[in-house]
Amino acid sequence: MNDLIIPSINCTTFEEAKEKIFKCRDFLPGNGWVHIDVSDGSFSPAFIWGNAEEFRTLIDENVWMRKINFEVHLMIQNPEKVFLEWISAGVSRIIAHHETIIDSEFLIKKCAENDVDLMISIKPETNVSEFKKYSHKVDKFQILAVSPGWAGQLFKIESLEKIKELRKMFPDCFIEVDGGINLETIRYAKSSGSNAYVVAHFLWELNPPEIGYVELQNALR
């Protein structure tokens, strides 16, 4: 399975989110992925832009965006209330937190009906054994290596043991690690068993961000 480097859109305004999405067009490979963070200031103390209707309008007005796969990370209470809006807006994957899911069967059923991936995430304080509840129902999982919220946090080294445990638990699953990814931590995450790496701060601090994207690709070789 090829490694995926996924730029993260973690912004307070729609205009900033739009600007970063447009920059991704300059360096993402065909059929690449972009990660959209959404936070309501409840599950996480951060309030991060996440308006599905604005996103839908953006895709409608920019046909080239349909060549990109978008995943939306719902760091919110009651993801069941909004995930269908994001599916209708055109995302390819829903990421919901185990800690906030009320009706996992509903999420699983509706994502399957709409041919959209469902990924289950846990925050750093949650034991990886909680993923066992989704055995035979979900095959994509996210290890959040920082506290839910803002970009720029330091990678929690204990996340590596979680990745290893998850890989042992589900040998064939898809594992995404999100938060604190740089040239050093991406190597550790890969050797621990990850398949995908969500990157925000490391990419967007560089101008152009393509520099960081290429450096991360090289780090995985």
Helix axes 14-24, 52-61, angle to 10 degrees: 40
CATH number at residue 178: 3.20.20.70
218: which DSSP letter? H
- Can you list the alpha helix ranges (DSSP code H) found in the chain? 14-24, 52-61, 83-89, 104-113, 159-169, 185-192, 201-204, 210-219
What is the chain's mean pLDDT, rounded?
96
Q: What is the pTM of this model?
A: 0.96
Number of domains in the chain: 1
Nearest to 71 by CA among 170, 142, 128, 149: 142
Could you tell me the residue range of the domain that residue 16 belongs to? 4-219
Spell out the residues 6+ positions from residue 207 whose beta carbon is closer than 8 angstroms to its own. none
Spell out the residues 6+ positions from residue 77 whose beta carbon is closer than 8 angstroms to its own. 40, 42, 43, 100
95: which DSSP letter? E
Q: At 39, is the secondary structure helix, strand, or coil?
A: strand
How do residues 66-123 score in pLDDT, each as one tens digit?
999 999 999 999 999 999 999 999 999 999 999 999 999 999 999 999 999 999 999 9
How do residues 162-211 score in pLDDT, each as one tens digit?
999 999 999 999 999 999 999 999 999 999 999 999 999 999 999 999 99
